[in-house]
Amino acid sequence: MMVSALFGVVSAGHLAVALWGAHRLRRNGNRLLIVPLLLCMALVYDNAVIAVGAALGPGAVLEVASIPRFAVHAVLTPTLILWAQTVACRAGVRWADSRAGTVIAWALALGSIAVAIVNDVVGLSLRPLWWAGTLRYANIPVPDTEALPVVITGVFVLVAGIGVWQRRRWLPMMLTAAVMTFAAAVAPESPLVGNMGELVLAAGLMGTAHWLRREPDTAALPATAVAKLTRRAGWIAFPALVVTTLWPGVGVVALVQPVYEILLVVHAQLGITTFGLPPKGNRLRRFHTGFGYANIPLLAAGQLLGLFPPTRDLAAAVTWALLISITVHIGIGVVFALRRRAARPARRAVPSKGPRTYTNSSH
């Protein structure tokens, strides 16, 4: 009953965020609030059904009440891709305002909706499922591509959030998308953590929509700061990738995987916006950056292949290839780090502080 009550608390949290968003929408007509508002209302219902599931018990009432949970998720969640692209465009993120960015956003959104409808509407097969004293109806057996629309949506919102942070210094969209990405990875083992991540994301999206309307244009992050952050994200992600490759799915190590994936997305996004596509610089710099860009399709391929049981061994091989590729990328990065260190001017000796001498200005 305690966990059921926690789902009720999450539902109430979504309701509070939705009421705030509805108030702001009615007051200033900010249409960017509409999608987060609809998302919150859907999640109010979703968490409320899970909260009362054990009390209702298995049966036709709970089963029928569960159908909208899947239908609404299938259509509504991928629309966040279009919402995130619109937000990034209004924030002045260059790629989001391009024709290619618009085409990619629509293709990903429509593709995700199609996959979700096939999985959770056409192929819906509800079975009662108990977890930690809660009862809900789940789509069993779980389709191999069940997580795909959520992963695509989460990564796109994260990428857009990184762009908004870099262009306008607004962190909440990126941070809450990162929290949701981590929570989604934990959700198969702990649905409550996944639903709490949705609450964090909903609050971040609602806050972003409100901020974008009232915040004046701010200067972008300096290029030198972006370059440093890009390198640090890569340095931190590398040991996490090593650990998860050597000991995949082992206990706490499994929690490290979404961390390195988030850091690699941050590293790649900042790298592309800093060094360009195709990359600029001398031959070694172009090779180093281009090699880093090659890790993006390797990461995506590993994730996609891991969804299907027949290709999971191949996904493991791709993960090893990713580790080797990133090791080469890091090795060249070490060369650049040593060059930067050698190029730093010697620090001037700081004179020792002596007693201050005061002069009487009245003379």
pLDDT of 230 over the 50 cut? yes
Distance in angstroms (rounded) separating the CA atoms of residues 198 and 14: 9
Query: Percent of the chain at pLDDT above 90?
Result: 34
Q: CA distances (Å), 187 to each of 292, 318, 332, in order?
A: 30, 24, 37
pTM, 2 dp: 0.83
Task: State how far the alpha carbon of 151 is from the alpha carbons of 109, 174, 258, 346, 363, in Å.
Answer: 12, 15, 11, 48, 76
Inform me whether the pLDDT recorded for 340 exceeds 80.
no
Burial code (b: 16+ CB inside 10 Å, e: under 16) for 130-141 equals: eeeebbbbbbee
Cβ(158)–Cβ(174) under 8 Å? yes
Give, in order, the Cα–Cα distances in Å from 286 to each of 23, 30, 137, 296. Answer: 50, 43, 52, 16
Strand partners, 138: 127
251 has a pLDDT exceeding 80: no
pLDDT at 361: 39
Q: Quote the tokens at residue 173.
A: 């969209």
- Whether 53 and 65 have beta carbons less than 8 Å apart is answered as no
For the chain, the average pLDDT equals 83
pLDDT at 346 over 60: no
Residues 6+ apart with CB under 8 A from 1: 54, 133
- From CA 84, how far away is CA 81, in angstroms rounded? 5
Asked if residue 297 has pLDDT above 70, the reply is: yes
Indicate if the pLDDT at residue 47 is higher than 60.
Answer: yes
Mean per-residue pLDDT, 82-100: 90
Mean pLDDT across 192-197: 92
Count of residues making up the chain: 363
Using alpha carbons, list the distances in angstroms from residue 43 to 10, 58, 290: 9, 21, 41
Is pLDDT larger for residue 264 or for residue 127?
A: 127
- Flag whether pLDDT at 101 surpasses 80: yes
- Give the whole-angstrom CA distance, residue 55 versus residue 57: 6
Residues 6+ apart with CB under 8 A from 207: 172
d(CA 163, CA 190): 30
Structure tokens at 62: 């709970």
CATH number assigned to the domain with residue range 1-217, chosen from the 4 options 1.20.1070, 3.10.260, 1.25.40, 1.10.3720 = 1.20.1070
Give residue limits of the domains in the chain: 1-217, 222-341
The label of the residue with tokens 């969804």 reads: 307
- What whole-number distance in Å separates Cα of residue 216 and Cα of residue 235? 34
What average pLDDT does the segment 82-92 reach?
Answer: 92
Inter-residue contact 274 to 229 (CB < 8 Å)? no
- Would you say residue 115 has pLDDT above 80? yes
